[in-house]
Amino acid sequence: MKNIFYLRNIKKTRAISLLIILASLLSQKSWANDPPELLFGPEFTFSSIKDNWKKEEALMDYLNYLEKKLIEEAPEGRKFSHPPGGPKRIFISPDGWSFNVTTDLGVIEVKMPPMTAEDYMKYESDIQKAIFDSAYNVGMIPLLFLGGGHISIGLDYFKNDLLLLRNFIVDFINHNELSMGILNYDTNNALPLWLFPEHQIQKTQQFLNTIDPLIANNQLAPSLIVLPHEERELNIPIQHMDPTEKRMYVRLLYPLKAALTNGPRDAFCKPWDTEMRGKRVAINLKIESNHHLHEKRIEIRSIRPQYNMRDFILLITLLKKRIEYLKNISKPIPLKINVPLLKSTTYSPRKYLLRPPIPPQKALAAFYQYLKETGLQWENYRHFVWPKWQFNGQLEKFEKELERKKRKLRRLKSNCSKFLKPKTRFIKRS
């Protein structure tokens, strides 16, 4: 009798073990099939408010302050750390996010590994205190016409939807109001396509005409041969790519980047422009970073420095919501400028002299419509508008006209509802 119970227990135990293994395998399969997350990476820049400041001295002041506040004086359990044996300019939060402090042309630069919009929202207060408040405490601030607030977007998210990636790039190019006065206008470091020579624009259109039917019908095959110079340009190990990745990087991004490459454009073009050709444009398709394939990303360059973490979150929310909006479009978007250019276009390396070459009222109306399509509120984004438009009355003029149209629409709706409302008839009793 004892042996019978023993055998039954063994069978029961084995059955439970098999169920646990099966559940584990199913969960692993489910995890493996989860779609990639949409990741964003920031590039915060700061400049000293001191006269005749030097980058090296400002960098040391900032690093020393961070070391003191985030490590030495931080309470137990909330201390930041450095990578084991790594540089002291990388700070790792006890929550897992991190940032790297370095320098660029005329600025102190802070970069973070990419995270989701939800992660940035979760740690918004901590990042604000660690990066921005620390910079302010050593006399460094983001300056409007010095440095940039570039935002990178993870490419892994688009790997199985080349139409979405293609439409996101073209949509950003089409909405030239974004790179000509709303988010920035920088002919020196983030040139919009519509200021390229005409043959460059035609080159881009020709490439899209060739590839669009293939993308639309899901017939874009991976490239079988990758030339050495293409691999150098792509900055990725081609031999490790699967067919899906080859379709994205080799068939779409590399030729499109070549089409968007900016050549010499005016007397102010600097020598390093020829070395960085293809990068100093409004949207940079030169695959950023030397990390693993799933960390490769493109870069939106036509964005001014963010003054705080809230502005960064607003911007990545804008990009995320726009991508969600574009998912509903089932065919390639035509390459077409959204706001016509003014006849006179001025280039200058002195950013404070720049005048966006588009009509301000049309640009503001286009941005308002862009936000409306994306499902976001004008009130949360109006402060991103080109500063001169805010101070010379253009923004006020647009908002007054906007309010007038809203009042007119409310009156119209009210009149329609009165007209359509069924009238109640009273019948006198005899």
pLDDT one-digit tens code per residue, 270-292: 433 443 444 578 888 876 555 45
Give me the pLDDT at residue 6, please: 46
Beta strand extents in 150-229 (DSSP E only): 151-154
Contact present, 299 and 150 (Cβ < 8 Å): yes
Contact present, 309 and 132 (Cβ < 8 Å): yes
Give me the pLDDT at residue 246, please: 72
**DSSP per residue, 241-257:** --HHHHIIIIIIIHHHH
Q: What is the dihedral of CA 309, 391, 185, 325, to 10 degrees?
A: 60
Give me the pLDDT at residue 407, please: 86
Domains, the chain: 34-143 (3.30.310), 148-302+311-407 (no CATH)
d(CA 150, CA 176) in angstroms, rounded, equals 17
Give me the pLDDT at residue 97, please: 96
Pairing of β 90-92 and β 151-154: unpaired
Give me the pLDDT at residue 167, please: 96
**Tens digit of each residue's pLDDT (9 = 90 or more) over 372-389:** 999 999 999 999 999 889
List the chain residues with pLDDT less than 50. Answer: 2, 5-7, 25-32, 224, 264-278, 291
Give me the pLDDT at residue 367, please: 98
Give me the pLDDT at residue 54, please: 85
Interacting residues of 163 by C-beta distance below 8 A, sequence separation 6+: 215, 216, 330, 331, 332
d(CA 11, CA 16) in angstroms, rounded, equals 9
Give me the pLDDT at residue 430, please: 56
